[in-house]
């Protein structure tokens, strides 16, 4: 079941759904006298190659027209979707390079709910490739729980490993400076590949008192760029993602440019979605391809309060693929079939067999 975030306290805390589990231990890790980092398991791709690839992505008038028309048609049948301020991005990888992109509000930031967990899954393998950590049995189990069961507790453990940080009481300025820098580890990895609009700096939370101490200190930190706009008592440093940035990262995963081919395949396998095994995903991306034989989906959904989201790779049996990311934000919350419907339309449009040549030799 996809767990939902619970509101903590008054309305001012509504968007602050990220902190670490309670533990008052000091910051530890290789940079603070801990054990040396393990050697890389496989060669890590040069991030400059990812930057070069992302720079080739081009807007497509044809794809944009199809996306706009599809959203309008779905909205006529489902007015609640039209009112949900959906952020959507699609990258077509079926025609080789350059990739084609289209989006609707794709550059507007939104709280991603559990969708951010695929970012942390990718980061775990990237950091292992670079010798910054080792995915041991315990972390492997946490990664599985984070992605398959969407466990927030497992996500907090994974994020703690990625950033060498732990929850605890507020820190003095000098210690907080170290903590602050470490919490930016995943964002800095994304930036090294040219992705600057994914503010992945917090784990996910259950909202049962697990936001306290140094995590609140970090969430209140207005000196860090990239968080969602804060009003009143809202935290200024909340996790934020755009649909376009999400789709670009997934395009790197789909084409083995963020990770080695071996680890890219492992991450996609962990993200594989099938409504026969996970029927609760029938309304998401996986639900849109149930009638298309041989088509696979590698995705991560998210649900919290007003947010309803999914982002993933859709690949057919010949290897043709596209990426789609959808985030809705509505009150009352949207929980309809639009994500599955849009995915179906995109799959039928982008993955349709090429028409057979007409005629023959004269």
- Predicted local distance difference test score (pLDDT) of residue 233: 78
Weakest mean pLDDT among 15-24, 58-67, 279-288, 331-340: 15-24
pLDDT of residue 41: 60
Label residues 15-47 b or e (16+ Cβ within 10 Å = b). Answer: bbbbbbbeeeeebebeeeeeeebeeebeebbeb
Contact partners, residue 149, CB within 8 Å, separation at least 6:
1
The whole-number pLDDT of residue 231 equals 80
Task: State residue 358's pLDDT score.
Answer: 57
CB 297 within 8 A of CB 346: no
- The radius of gyration of the chain's CA atoms, rounded to the nearest angstrom, is 20
Whether residue 324 is predicted with pLDDT greater than 80 in this model: the reply is: yes
Q: What fold, for 11-350?
A: Beta-lactamase (3.40.710)
Is the Cβ–Cβ distance between 157 and 140 less than 8 Å? no
Looking at the chain, the whole-number percentage of residues with pLDDT higher than 70 is 86
- Residue with the bigger pLDDT between 83 and 352: it is 83
Q: What pLDDT does residue 2 have?
A: 41
Position with higher pLDDT, 131 vs 357 = 131
Each residue's pLDDT tens digit, 139-190: 999 999 999 999 999 999 999 999 999 999 999 999 999 999 999 999 999 9
User: 179-197 b/e with 16+ CB inside 10 Å = b?
Assistant: bbebbbbbbebbbebbbeb
27 bridge partner residues: none
Specify the pTM: 0.87
pLDDT at 202: 97
CA-to-CA dists, residue 16 to 177, 209, 290, 297, 312, angstroms: 21, 12, 36, 30, 25
Domain boundaries, the chain: 11-350
**How far does Cα 273 stand from its chain's mean position?**
15
Is residue 206 scored above 50 in pLDDT? yes
**Predicted pLDDT at 300:** 98
| pLDDT at position 30 over 80 | no
Whether residue 248 has pLDDT greater than 60: yes
């Amino acid at each position: 079941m996809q767990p939902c975030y619970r509101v903590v306290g008054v309305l001012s805390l509504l968007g602050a759904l990220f902190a670490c589990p309670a533990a008052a231990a000091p910051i530890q890790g290789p940079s603070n006298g801990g054990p040396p980092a393990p050697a890389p398991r496989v060669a890590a791709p040069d991030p400059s190659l990812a930057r070069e690839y992302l720079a080739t992505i081009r807007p497509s008038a044809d794809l944009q027209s199809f996306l706009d028309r599809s959203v309008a048609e779905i909205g006529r049948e489902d007015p609640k979707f039209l009112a949900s301020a959906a952020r959507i991005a699609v990258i077509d990888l079926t025609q080789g390079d350059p990739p084609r992109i289209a989006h609707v509000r794709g550059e507007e930031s939104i709280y991603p709910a559990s969708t951010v967990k695929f970012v942390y899954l990718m980061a775990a393998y990237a950091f292992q490739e670079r010798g910054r950590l080792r995915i041991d049995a315990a972390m492997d189990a946490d990664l599985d729980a984070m992605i398959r069961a969407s466990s927030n507790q497992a996500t907090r453990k994974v994020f703690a490993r990625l950033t060498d940080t732990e929850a605890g009481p507020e820190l003095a300025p000098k210690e907080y400076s170290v903590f602050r820098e470490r919490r930016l580890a995943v964002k800095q990895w994304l930036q090294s590949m040219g992705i600057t609009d994914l503010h992945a700096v917090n784990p996910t939370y259950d909202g049962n008192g697990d936001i306290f101490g140094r995590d609140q200190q970090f969430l209140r930190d207005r000196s860090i760029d990239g968080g969602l706009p804060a009003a009143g008592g809202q935290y200024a440093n909340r996790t934020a993602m755009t649909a376009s940035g999400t789709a670009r990262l997934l395009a790197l995963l789909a084409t083995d440019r963020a990770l080695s081919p071996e680890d890219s395949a492992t991450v996609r396998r962990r993200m594989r979605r099938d409504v026969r095994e996970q029927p609760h995903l029938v309304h998401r991306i996986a639900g849109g391809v149930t009638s298309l034989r041989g088509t696979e989906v590698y995705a991560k959904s998210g649900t919290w309060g007003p947010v309803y989201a999914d982002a993933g790779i859709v690949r057919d049996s010949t290897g043709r693929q596209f990426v789609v990311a959808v985030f809705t934000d509505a009150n009352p919350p949207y929980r309809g079939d639009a994500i599955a419907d849009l995915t179906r339309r995109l799959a039928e449009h982008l993955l349709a067999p090429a028409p057979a040549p007409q005629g023959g030799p004269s």
